[in-house]
A and B are shown apart, each in its own frame.
Chain A
Amino acid sequence: MINNVVVVKNLKKYFPLKLPWLEVVLKKEKPVVKAVDELSFSIKEGEALGLVGESGSGKTTVGRSIIRLIEPTSGDIEINNTNIVNLKNEQLRQARKEFQIIFQDPMASLNPYMTIGKSVMHPLEIHNIGTPKTRKEMVLELFRRVNLIPEKEFFNRYPRQLSGGQRQRVVIARAIITNPKFIVSDEATAMLDVSVRSQVLQLMLEIKKEYNLAFLFITHDLASAKYICERIAVMYLGKIVEIAATRELFENPHHPYTKILMSSIPVPDPNFKKEKIIPKGEIPSPTNMPTGCRFRTRCPYVKKECEEIDMNLEDLGDGHLSACPFFK
């Protein structure tokens, strides 16, 4: 039995909505944006779970809440058998060695005045791993691993002296230097050009295998998710609408939103003629969420009953879950 490294149960993140004070006074309920609403999933050792969906669907909020970069409104988050929701400052700081995040913009996540060698060494110092001498050795070894060669020369460079792809490899090195169990990657390759993006994707895949990492791979690019992930979860307006093994999801999507998403991906092959399913309109504002199925305002197959359904994920077998009761 392979262990679950991450188990998330009923995660909620509501952001308070700023309204004119009079409206606030008059309303009984405090208005909120339900950015993430009752989400549950788990990730095994050595497994990458993709989290895909349109802009504003809540992917980043999930990624940040589950490592407590922002505080979840409610829910349980177990990482490596510890429920991190109630950890206090010092305990949380200690626990952080086990989980790391890689952001979209490597320039913004590296200190411009620190050599990249020092930046990558920093987490070792914070967590008191190794001695000053062995720390530098560890960094150099990792630089070789992520192909920043000659590593001694790279050690003394500053972020601005690197290309985008090299910077993202520095960030990956920094994320894995404490030997974590779990990594969140939030659009980590979105800013990279095609010719270097694939190199970073490949590196993430290799690192995941070598370190037996649990990986949450957040992206709006389904083709990258297919390349990296064993399973994929599709989000729409704060809810997971479908989750399945990658191949199964691509060959056999059930939820209408997943079907639309799949049929929208551009395929670099002029002979490929796709079946078009076009949704109506655009994603509604999260402050004005449809009742029942949140997708119903755009769903080409909508019917009366959709106003009433709960969007509960139903198991269709083999870990394939979907939130639409009409397409099974």
Chain B
Amino acid sequence: MINLEVKNLNIKYRTRNGTVHAVKDASFFVRKKETLGIVGESGCGKSTTGHAVLRLLPPNALTDGEVVYNGSNILKYSNEKMRQLRGKDISIIFQDPMTSLDPIMRIRDHFFELIRAHNPKAKEEEMREMASNALESVGVSAKRLDNYPFEFSGGMRQRVMIALGITLKPSVLIADEPTTSLDVVVQEQIMGVLKDLKQTQDMSIILITHDLGVVAEVADSGVVMYAGEVVEYADVQNLYNNPLHPYTQLLLKSVPNIKIDDMELRYIPGSLPDLKNIPQGCRFKDRCPFVKDICSKKEPPIFKIDEREVRCWLYDK
């Protein structure tokens, strides 16, 4: 069952030096109990996409398109309705755990504030119970509710962030690079927590990351973004075993895999195009080994092949 669907999402940032078309025509969905991975390199629009779902973008952002949840487009909700939905139906964990907890507030007060925002009459006892359950489910002892953020390590803080994200039992959790600043051992622990939650809490997860290994490990389907566009969208089996887009193919050959001995690494020559000054045609054309005439003339549309999607002229049959 589809839980949340993004349709033709377009986001532009107005800046002093021109308009950045940060996300162009992105569409994808996530089912109940499934994890959707959004992968791409820095600046390709992953965070912008994730934040747009909850309407958390800065004022210089222009959003267009639909985010369908429970049968309605939440981009059209009133601010008050949106406030009620945030944290309760859809919640988000931000990229930087250091800045997203208030250093002068005890951990419990972070929970209480969140719970009261949705239920002003909540009793302290009840709130403690909810907070304890959430903390314990991510492997942090409820005894630590009275601690301050500085008394936690980076990994523990990130767990607290996840606990806050799931306290109100949302049906969609958006996790923006939840482990990027952490060591692999701690990352592994947190990925385990996310996997369990998906099963036990009936949740959908949108996991944003630049790490292809993480997506392979925890996601059911994956969206690959390049320069603001979804260039490929498929279930993880197909995405990794039979990637269609030249960018996905090259990217997979550029990451060292410890399970392959004497691996030959490829790289992608050139660099990302400037989003203020998008060239005509395919956004990947200057780096693509298969570039054809049409690639520099017309922007490729999404081609559907079986259940998958790819934005590349090679699939124009």
A227 in the interface (beta carbon within 8 A): yes
Contacting residues, chain A, for B258 (C-beta < 8 A)? 222-223, 226, 250, 262, 265, 267
Question: Is the Cβ of A223 less than 8 Å from the Cβ of B257?
Answer: yes
Binds A, one of B16-24, B113-121, B178-186: B178-186
Shortest distance in angstroms between A103's beta carbon and chain B's nearest beta carbon? 19
Q: Bound complex: CA of A251 vs CA of B216, how far in Å?
A: 22
Knowing A196-B268, A266-B213, say if A222 contacts B255 (CB, 8 Å).
no
Q: How far is the CA of A221 from the CA of B268 in the complex (A)?
A: 20
* B41–A270 CB distance below 8 A: no
Given known contacts A163-B271, A268-B216, A282-B156, A55 and B265 CB-to-CB distance under 8 angstroms: no
Counted as pairs of residues, one from A and one from B, with CB atoms less than 8 Å apart, the total is: 115
Q: Quick one: which of A227, A268, A269 contacts B265, CB cutoff 8 A?
A: A227
Interface residues of A in 83-99 (CB under 8 A from B): none
Is residue B155 within 8 Å, beta carbon to beta carbon, of the partner chain? Answer: yes
Identify which of residues 217-268 in chain B touch chain A, using a CB-to-CB cut-off of 8 Å.
217, 236-237, 240-241, 250-252, 254-259, 261, 263, 265-268
- Chain A neighbourhood of B214, CB < 8 A: 266
Q: Which residue of A lies closest to B250 (CB)?
A: A195
- Distance of A190 Cα from B295 Cα, bound (Å): 33
User: Which A residues are CB-close (under 8 A) to B267?
Assistant: 195-199, 202
Query: For the complex, what is the distance from the CA of A54 to the CA of B252, rounded to whole Å?
Result: 25
List the A residue with the shortest CB-CB distance to B191. A266
Q: B188 — which chain A residues lie within 8 A by C-beta?
A: 263-264, 276, 278
A19–chain B nearest beta-carbon distance, Å: 18
Q: Which of B183, B185, B210, B213 has the most CB of A within 10 A?
A: B185
Assembly CA distance A247 to B252 (angstroms): 22
Is B153 interfacial (CB-CB < 8 Å)? yes
In the bound assembly, the distance between CA atoms of A271 and B216 in angstroms comes to: 8
Check B187 against A198 for contact (C-beta < 8 Å): no
Is A260's CB within 8 Å of the partner chain B? yes
Determine if B184 and A265 form an interchain contact, defined as CB atoms under 8 angstroms apart: yes
Majority SS of interface residues in chain B?
A: helix
Tell me, yes or no, whether A75 is within 8 Å of chain B by CB: no
Q: Are the CB atoms of B217 and A266 closer together than 8 Å?
A: yes
CB distance from B77 to the nearest CB of A (A): 35
Are B42 and A193 in touch, CB under 8 angstroms?
Answer: yes
Cβ–Cβ contact A267 & B259, under 8 A: yes
How many chain-A residues does the 8 Å CB contact rule pick out?
40
Q: A279 interface residue, CB < 8 Å from B?
A: yes
CB-CB under 8 A from B98, the residues of chain A are: none
- A268 to B218: give the CA distance in the assembly, Å: 11
Contact among A224, A266, A270, A271 with B184 in the assembled complex (CB-CB below 8 Å): A266
A-chain residues with CB within 8 Å of residue B8 when the two chains form the complex: none
**Is B189 interfacial (CB-CB < 8 Å)?**
yes
Is A64 an interface residue, CB under 8 A from the partner?
A: no
Query: Would you give the shortest CB distance from B243 to chain A, in whole angstroms?
Result: 11
Residue of B nearest to A53 (CB): B183
Q: How far is the CA of A221 from the CA of B236 in the complex (A)?
A: 23
Partner of B155, one of A194, A270, A282: A282
Alpha-carbon distance A269/B219, docked complex (angstroms): 11
- Chain A nearest CB: distance from B221 CB in Å? 11
Contact of A220 with B by CB under 8 A: yes
- Residues 172-211 of A, flagged 1 when their CB comes within 8 A of B and 0 if not, give 0000000000000000000001111111011000000000
The interface centre, meaning the residue of A202, A226, A263, A278 with most chain B CB atoms within 10 A of its CB, is A226
Residues of A within 8 A of B263 (CB): 227
The reply on A165 being an interface residue by CB < 8 A is yes
Residues in B lying within 8 Å of A, measured CB to CB: 41-42, 153-156, 183-189, 192, 210-214, 216-217, 236-237, 240-241, 250-252, 254-259, 261, 263, 265-269, 271
A/B interface sample: 15 pairs, CB < 8 A: A165-B271, A193-B41, A194-B210, A195-B41, A196-B267, A198-B254, A223-B213, A223-B256, A223-B258, A261-B184, A264-B184, A267-B259, A268-B240, A268-B252, A283-B153
- Known contacts A54-B185, A196-B271; 20 additional CB pairs below 8 A are A193-B210, A194-B255, A197-B267, A202-B267, A222-B184, A223-B258, A224-B256, A264-B185, A265-B184, A267-B216, A267-B258, A268-B213, A268-B255, A269-B240, A269-B259, A271-B241, A272-B216, A276-B188, A282-B156, A283-B153
